[in-house]
Amino acid sequence: MKRVMFVCRKNSCRSQMAEGFAKELGQDKITVKSSGLEASEVNPGAIVVMSEIGIDINKQTSDALSDFQPEDFDVVISLCGCGVNLPKNWLTTEVFQDWELEDPAGKDLGIFRKVRDEIKQKVSQLISSLD
């Protein structure tokens, strides 16, 4: 089973949605965590738009990347273009991708939904590529 880390700036929106999708779509295929360059809180907008499609991320926590060790992961995905800001040892995993998705924080739920749907597509593709 591949071990996947989704990372973003604050681990509040995009990385949280990606973790929720990966847990749902990647059951028995991957293990998954998410983190941020800094920890904050799970954005209420992310919780709302994920619950609209039956995925509950309400109990997920916002964690700092520094709480984890890069050697514990095979795949690292940056969702915000922050890959250039990651410590170098996080860039040497088996798979590293930088998705550069729009930050929905502070925007209306329509933007959250658009980003959510983009994340679902990318997470689905990632899981298929790891099979």
The pair of three-digit structure tokens given for residue 21, joined into one six-digit string: 């999708």
Query: pLDDT digit string (tens) for 102-113?
Result: 999 999 999 999
Per-residue pLDDT reduced to its tens digit, 109-127 = 999 999 999 999 999 999 9
Architecture of domain 2-130: 3-Layer(aba) Sandwich (3.40)
Residue 114 has which token pair? 């658009």
Question: Which residues are catalytically annotated?
Answer: 8, 80
Q: Mean pLDDT over all residues of the chain?
A: 94
Q: What is the mean pLDDT of residues 35-49?
A: 96
* Model pLDDT for residues 69-82, shown as the tens digit of each residue: 999 999 999 998 87
Domain range summary for the chain, segments of one domain joined by +: 2-130
| This prediction's pTM | 0.95
DSSP 47-102: HHHHHTTT---TT----BGGGS-GGG-SEEEESSSGGGGS-GGGTTSSEEEE----
Sort strands 75-78 and 2-8 into parallel, antiparallel or unpaired: parallel
